[in-house]
Chain A
Amino acid sequence: MRSRGSAAAPLLLYLPPGLIALAMLVPLGYLVLRTLEADPTHLAELILRGRSRVLLGNTLQLTGAVVAGTTAIALPLAWLVTRTDLPGTRMITTAAVLPLAVPGYVMAYALLGLGGQNGLAASLGVPLQRLSGLGGAAAALTLYAFPYTFLNLRSAFLSLDPGLEEAARSLGYSPWQVFLRVTLPLITPGLIAGALIVSIYTLGDFGAVALMRFEVFSFAIYTQYTSAFDRSYAAALALMLMALTALPLALEARVLKNSHLARVGSGVSRRPRQIPLGWKMPLALLFVAAVLVSSVGLPALILLHWMRLQPPWAELPRVAAAFGNSLSAAVPSALVAVAAALPLAYLRVRYPSRGSRAAERIAFTGYAVPPLALGLAMVFFSLRAVPALYQTRTLLILTYGLNFLALAMGPIRNSLMAAPRNLEEAARSLGRSRVAAFCLALFPLLRKGIFAALTLVFVMVMKELPLAVLLAPTGFTTLSTAVFSRTSEALLAEAAPYAAAIVLFSSLFVGLLVRSESPHNQEPSDASGKTTPREDLSRAPLSRKTLPGNPLQGGAP
Chain B
Amino acid sequence: MNHRERPIHHLDIQGLTKRFDPSSPPAVQDVSFHLRTGEILGLLGPSGCGKTTTLRMIAGFTRPDGGEIFLEGTSVASLPPERRRIGFVFQDYALFPNRTVLDNLVFALHRKKRAIRKGKARDLLALVGLSREEGRFPHELSGGQQQRVALARTLAAEPELILLDEPFSNLDAALRESTRAEVRSLLKCAEMSAILVTHDQEEALSFCDTLGVMNAGTLEQRGTPEEVYLTPRTPFVAQFLGRANLLRGTARGTTARTDLGDIAIHPAAEGSVLLSLRPEHLTLQPLAAARSRNDSPRITSREFRGHDLTYRVAFMNQEFLVHTDYTCDLPPGSAVALVPRRPGVVLQEPGLCRRG
Contacts and interface: CB of A to CB of B under 8 A. Distances in A.
Chains A and B come from one and the same complex: yes
B304 interface: no
A173 B153 CA distance: 14
Contacts of A175: 80
Contacts of A265: 92-95, 138, 143, 146, 170
Interface centre among B80, B84, B95, B137 (most CB of A within 10 A): B95
B139 A262 contact: yes
B110 interface: yes
A259 B98 contact: yes
Q: Is the interface of A mostly helix, strand, loop or mixed?
A: loop
B297 interface: no
A161 B146 CA distance: 16
B185 to A, nearest CB: 23
B96 interface: yes
A161 B94 contact: yes
Interface centre among A164, A173, A262 (most CB of B within 10 A): A164
Interface string B38-76: 000000000000000000000111000000000000000
A318 interface: no
Contacts of A181: 107
B103 to A, nearest CB: 11
A261 to B, nearest CB: 5
Contacts of B92: 161, 163, 263-269
Nearest to B111: A172
A261 B98 CA distance: 5
A53 interface: no
A106 B313 CA distance: 81
A166 interface: yes
B12 to A, nearest CB: 20
Interface in A181-196: 181-182, 185-186
A170 interface: yes
B31 to A, nearest CB: 20
- A: interface residue count bin: 20 to 34
Q: Is the interface of B mostly helix, strand, loop or mixed?
A: loop
Interface in A227-271: 259-269
A260 B141 CA distance: 13
A181 B106 CA distance: 13
A267 B111 contact: no
Contacts, number: 103
B229 interface: no
Contacts of A263: 92, 97
Contacts of B156: 171
A43 B111 CA distance: 62
Contacts of A172: 82-83, 85, 108, 110-111, 157
Contact of A169 (B61, B111, B143): B61
B96 A169 contact: no
B171 to A, nearest CB: 10
Contacts of A264: 92-93, 95, 97, 138-139, 146
Contacts of B91: 163, 267-268
A171 B60 CA distance: 12
A167 interface: yes
Interface string A439-471: 000000000000000000000000000000000
Given A172-B82, A174-B82, A260-B139, A166 B61 contact: yes
B90 interface: yes
A173 B110 contact: yes
A185 B98 contact: yes
B35 interface: no
A379 B153 CA distance: 62
Contacts of B59: 166, 170
Contacts of B90: 163, 166-167, 267
Contacts of A174: 80, 82
B97 A262 contact: yes
B33 to A, nearest CB: 21
Contacts of A170: 59-61, 81-82, 84, 86-88, 154, 157, 159
**9 closest A-B pairs (Cβ-Cβ)?**
A267-B92, A265-B92, A163-B94, A169-B81, A167-B94, A264-B138, A170-B88, A163-B90, A171-B108
Interface of A: 161, 163-164, 166-175, 181-182, 185-186, 259-269, 273
Given A166-B88, A267-B90, A268-B91, 12 more contacts: A166-B81, A167-B94, A170-B81, A170-B82, A170-B86, A172-B157, A260-B138, A261-B97, A262-B139, A265-B170, A267-B170, A268-B92
Interface of B: 59-61, 80-88, 90-98, 107-108, 110-111, 137-139, 143, 146, 153-154, 156-157, 159, 169-170
8 contacts: A166-B90, A171-B108, A172-B111, A264-B138, A264-B146, A266-B92, A267-B91, A267-B92
